[in-house]
Amino acid sequence: MAFNVRAAMQRKGKSQAAVGAVLNLSQQAVSRRLVGKVAWDIAELGTLAEFLGVSIASLIRERAA
């Protein structure tokens, strides 16, 4: 999931700070989620998907092996 979020952020040109501002999280808290140290919660994913203009499903789907 973290990979998908990072990829979507990169495609949309959004920084950790911008994501943090939308989610009311610090940049450090966003970073911990992006490296998988802290799990995203569903409410964060919904807000993030809307902010990035993508579906929640695209953020949570597993990558092909």
Distance CA 4, CA 7 (A): 5
* Predicted confidence (pLDDT) per residue in 7-51, tens digit: 999 999 999 999 999 999 999 999 999 999 999 999 999 999 999
Please give the model's pTM, rounded to 2 decimal places. 0.85
Distance CA 11, CA 26 (A): 21
pLDDT at 39: 92
Residue 65 has pLDDT above 70, yes or no: no
pLDDT at 37: 94
Residue 57 has pLDDT above 80, yes or no: yes
pLDDT at 62: 77
